[in-house]
Chains A and B, each alone.
Chain A
Amino acid sequence: MGAYVVRRLVFSLFVLWGAVTIIFVVLRLVPGDPAYIMLGPDADQAQVDALRAQLGLDHSLIQQYATYLANVVHLDFGQSFRLNADSMSLVMQRVPATIQLATTALLLSLLIGLPLGVIAALRAHSWVDRTISVFSLMGQSTPSFWLGIVLILVFARGLKVLPSAGSGTWSHLVLPTITLALPFLAILVRLTRSGLLEVVHEGYVQTARAKGLGEGIVILVHALRNALIPIVTVVGLQFGALLGGTVIVETVFAWPGVGRLLIDSIGRRDYGVVQASILLVATIFVVINLLVDLLYGFLDPRVRLAGD
């Protein structure tokens, strides 16, 4: 197990290296010179050149990449052009808001998605199951930006019961959480339903019934524990999509998280902040995947022992 974790950690470093490299290349491929954008259209060439030199943009790409990698190792992404502060600290200030949003969305999805999936599986092919399936399909296909705007129109503009933007109180959290959670919740419903349907005809479920156990224990203990094994994997992978979703949801609801900072920084070619944000999101993603793999071993003893 220990060796496995070390191997995974080393592999994770490569994944992160890939992420920072891709973002370096992509940022330099998009049109628009940061010096021009920062100084505005009135700046003359001398001013632009001076700023380019200050930012290190006058060096060759290879040189820039080498400096960049060396700085990344020290988590130094330089000053933000735009906000005039250390890029990494700017990102770290925004992390709690994003974590809060992602966590509440994850909890909401699990609290509603798992039970709905169980109900759909137990009542498979009935009208209850069909209704749940239709709603989960709709949830999965509804784009977040559209749902967010509709929720704002209905609950903030129309009914005036919830704020449309900002943060601070729990009521600010409601609409962004629902918007972020819905696609995830929908996937969870479908996964739980199909996972449970796959195991309810297994021999050990039959054994549990033959043992005279109540139907609740048969399903929630004997069947669900087995059905959860594949679900956990997908939940882990989908959490990445959830983090990606925060970019849109935070923008729609003006939520002061990493996602919105990222969007603003991309628009202003604020390289340091963009790079720091991406590295952070990638790191969270990699860590969660590692946790999922470890959890997988916990849930399925066959995996745990094979690794030894």
Chain B
Amino acid sequence: MTALMRVRELRVEFDTSGGVVTAVDGASFEVAAGETVALLGESGSGKSVTAQAVMGIVPKPAGRIAGGSITYDGRDLLTPGAAKGLRGREIAMVFQDPLSSLNPVFRVGAQIGEMFRRHRGASRREARAAALELMKRVGIPAASKRLDDYPHQFSGGMRQRVMIAMALALSPRLLIADEPTTALDVTVQAQIMDLLARLQAEEGMSLVLITHDLGVVADVADRVVLMYAGRVVETGPIREVYEHSGHPYTAGLMGSVPVLDGARDRLTPIQGSPPDLLSLPTGCSFHPRCHYADPLCTTDQPNLRPLPTPPPQHQAACHHPEGVLNHAP
């Protein structure tokens, strides 16, 4: 399977009042054509910043890409010239909060139609017709009446459908969805996930699903890329990662998920708190919270490497994956 997008040793830094924060610290992963990859991690793990780097929207002037590469279909996304025309057309993004992500002063039909007008030179009438088609496709009821409504007149779920319609306008080959259901009601979350899965199947596009919710991606993702403190700590096929976690952080996350069949009496939280990006622990960033940590973990930063168990695509950045695998719940 050849990679559609390849992120290599990506490093993104932010200037803050407390000093330089490395939000993404050497993250590498790939997305194959037609594949769904879940980018998992808690707040501050660098997953959203990674997406911003791909889209070229790292907040300036505070943030900058300090190293690494992102290639899409063999083209370098970090070179402005080469990336021109890819964003919006080939690579699209859906954001977490659809209310703040839609422009409050423009009609939704115009915001969707803008994709056709600016990128394809479509006339007003053509853009409007295309926007209407998209709104129907993403399941907005009475779409022809709602074309001229403003974002604040829609419910949260409908707004996110508008966002999705806008992202899909030019049939991108890669869609990045940054916590697309976090701001929505639980009942609506499932509808939006179903919609994304259906559209992905129809379009045959790749989907990068960014989330902190292990449950959201369990049914839809093919692969998982798990981030902690700006680094990828574990990656592999979703079943493998969920059932045979090779990193203590992943294992900890699995142990803290409630299950409905009552097999678990208590949830087991991960000890400690997420690290302060301004003063990361030496060695492995997770070592202060880890049961398996030894002196090596406090000095040497582990790199991603295949686990002793197959398949080789399942990799973890841990010095002691054997211990984690043996103690898995």
Residues of A within 8 A of B (CB): 124-125, 201-204, 206-214, 217, 222, 225-226, 229, 299-302, 305
- Decide if B87 touches A226 in the complex (CB within 8 Å): no
Complex interface: chain B residues within 8 A of A210 (CB): 55, 57, 87-88, 92-93, 95
The A-B contact count (CB < 8 A) is 76
Instruction: Tell me, yes or no, whether B102 is within 8 Å of chain A by CB.
Output: yes
| Bound Cα distance A203, B57 (Å) | 11
Q: Shortest 8 CB-CB distances between A and B: which pairs?
A: A212-B88, A203-B100, A204-B103, A203-B101, A212-B87, A301-B150, A210-B93, A211-B88
Complex interface: chain A residues within 8 A of B85 (CB): 212
- Decide if A202 touches B92 in the complex (CB within 8 Å): no
Instruction: Tell me, yes or no, whether B68 is within 8 Å of chain A by CB.
Output: no
A226, A301, A302: most-surrounded residue (chain B CB, <10 A): A301
Residue of B nearest to A205 (CB): B103
| Residue contacts A-B, CB under 8 angstroms, 13 given | A125-B61, A203-B102, A206-B95, A208-B103, A209-B56, A211-B115, A212-B88, A217-B118, A225-B105, A225-B106, A226-B103, A229-B105, A302-B152
| Bound Cα distance A203, B178 (Å) | 12
- Decide if B166 touches A211 in the complex (CB within 8 Å): yes
Contact pick for A204, options B88, B104, B150, CB 8 Å = B104
| Residues of B in contact with A, size category | 20 to 34
A201, A212, A213, A229: most-surrounded residue (chain B CB, <10 A): A212
Instruction: Tell me, yes or no, whether B114 is within 8 Å of chain A by CB.
Output: yes
- Decide if A213 touches B153 in the complex (CB within 8 Å): no
Complex interface: chain A residues within 8 A of B56 (CB): 209
B134: min CB distance to chain A, Å = 13
Complex interface: chain B residues within 8 A of A212 (CB): 85-89, 118-119
- Decide if B150 touches A305 in the complex (CB within 8 Å): yes
| Bound Cα distance A302, B105 (Å) | 8
The residues in B between 36 and 85 inclusive whose CB is less than 8 angstroms from any CB of A are 55-57, 59, 61, 85
- Decide if B104 touches A302 in the complex (CB within 8 Å): yes
- Decide if B95 touches A299 in the complex (CB within 8 Å): no
| Bound Cα distance A302, B115 (Å) | 24
Extra contacts besides A207-B166, A213-B114 (14): CB < 8 Å: A124-B61, A201-B59, A203-B97, A204-B101, A207-B102, A210-B87, A210-B88, A211-B88, A211-B115, A212-B86, A212-B118, A225-B106, A301-B104, A305-B153
B87, B88, B105: most-surrounded residue (chain A CB, <10 A): B105
Complex interface: chain A residues within 8 A of B61 (CB): 124-125
Contact pick for B105, options A207, A211, A226, CB 8 Å = A226
Complex interface: chain B residues within 8 A of A203 (CB): 95, 97, 100-102
- Decide if A209 touches B89 in the complex (CB within 8 Å): no
B49: min CB distance to chain A, Å = 12
| Bound Cα distance A208, B152 (Å) | 18
| Bound Cα distance A222, B104 (Å) | 10
Complex interface: chain A residues within 8 A of B100 (CB): 202-204
A209, A210, A222, A305: most-surrounded residue (chain B CB, <10 A): A210
- Decide if A300 touches B105 in the complex (CB within 8 Å): yes
- Decide if B102 touches A211 in the complex (CB within 8 Å): no
Contact pick for A209, options B55, B118, B119, CB 8 Å = B55
Complex interface: chain A residues within 8 A of B55 (CB): 209-210
Contact pick for A213, options B59, B105, B118, B152, CB 8 Å = B118
The residues in B between 255 and 288 inclusive whose CB is less than 8 angstroms from any CB of A are none
B68: min CB distance to chain A, Å = 20
- Decide if A209 touches B57 in the complex (CB within 8 Å): yes
Residue of B nearest to A301 (CB): B150
| Bound Cα distance A147, B95 (Å) | 51
The residues in B between 97 and 122 inclusive whose CB is less than 8 angstroms from any CB of A are 97, 100-106, 114-115, 118-119
A202, A208, A299: most-surrounded residue (chain B CB, <10 A): A208
Complex interface: chain A residues within 8 A of B88 (CB): 210-213
Complex interface: chain A residues within 8 A of B87 (CB): 209-212
| Bound Cα distance A122, B52 (Å) | 20
- Decide if B150 touches A302 in the complex (CB within 8 Å): yes
Residue of A nearest to B54 (CB): A210
Complex interface: chain B residues within 8 A of A299 (CB): 105
| Bound Cα distance A124, B95 (Å) | 26
Complex interface: chain B residues within 8 A of A209 (CB): 55-57, 87
A202: min CB distance to chain B, Å = 6
Complex interface: chain A residues within 8 A of B115 (CB): 211
Residue of B nearest to A228 (CB): B105
Residue of A nearest to B176 (CB): A210
| Bound Cα distance A129, B111 (Å) | 31
Residue of A nearest to B102 (CB): A204
Task: Given A211-B115, A213-B114, answer yes or no on A206-B57 (Cβ-Cβ < 8 Å).
Answer: yes
B148: min CB distance to chain A, Å = 10
